[in-house]
Amino acid sequence: MKVAVSILTADFNNLEAEIKSLHESDYIHLDVMDGHFVPNISFGKAVLKNIKNITNVPLDTHLMITNPYDYIEDFVSIGSKYITIHIEANKVLETLEKIKSYNVKTGLSLRPKTDIKLLNPYLKDIDLVLVMTVEPGFGGQSFMIEQMKKVEYLYEMRKKHNYKYVIEIDGGVNKETIKYAKGVDIVVSGSYILNQKDRSKAIKSLK
């Protein structure tokens, strides 16, 4: 299992040191929020433009924004390995095609209340599916175990059809809830890791 560390709750006054402390992680997870798709605003290209000069850890970008199509170039330019958009956003197919045109891996996510089967038409063509195990928008929420039914569905669909996507979960992942992450390829964890002095030890505890 791989670990992606969300920097949503990082100390942005000391961002370079924060990111460098996460060198044991497999991905740096970027939660981008526009204040419209979710009731919170996080950060954008202006804050992140130099991140690829700070770390060699691949960037896993999650766009919780209404119109992701308009911002793909921004998050390609910072060096994203994955760019994940929401099935509930505008221009889903066009945006996925735009991401692919830059040779960046595509991801799809969905809110907890959204039917997983809405992703079916896209599963054969995408590289990652992100299952939210909290309501998107804020860090530090409790893990929604019932969302693991979506992981089970995705695992079976991948096996049945030989799809190539990886399965990622995000929200409330810590040393207690990690036991529920069966069938998951990547776990996103933010508060649990960033609230500990020894970030490397925390990351290894999830692996």
- Which positions are annotated as active-site residues? 31, 170
Neighbours of 124 (CB within 10 A): 12
Environment class of residue 175 by beta-carbon count within 10 Å: exposed (0-12), middle (13-18) or buried (19+)? exposed
In the chain, the amino acid numbered 96 is L
User: How many whole angstroms separate alpha carbon 185 and alpha carbon 60?
Assistant: 14
Residue 28: beta bridge partners? 5, 59
**DSSP 8-state class, residue 163:** -
Question: What are 134's two structure tokens?
Answer: 């909290």
Pairing between β-strand 59-64 and β-strand 80-86 as defined by DSSP bridges: parallel
Coil, strand or helix: which one is 95?
Answer: helix
Residue tagged 């969300």 (tokens)? 6
Alpha carbon 149 to its chain centroid, in Å, reads 18
User: How many whole angstroms separate alpha carbon 83 and alpha carbon 100?
Assistant: 10
Coil, strand or helix: which one is 203?
Answer: helix
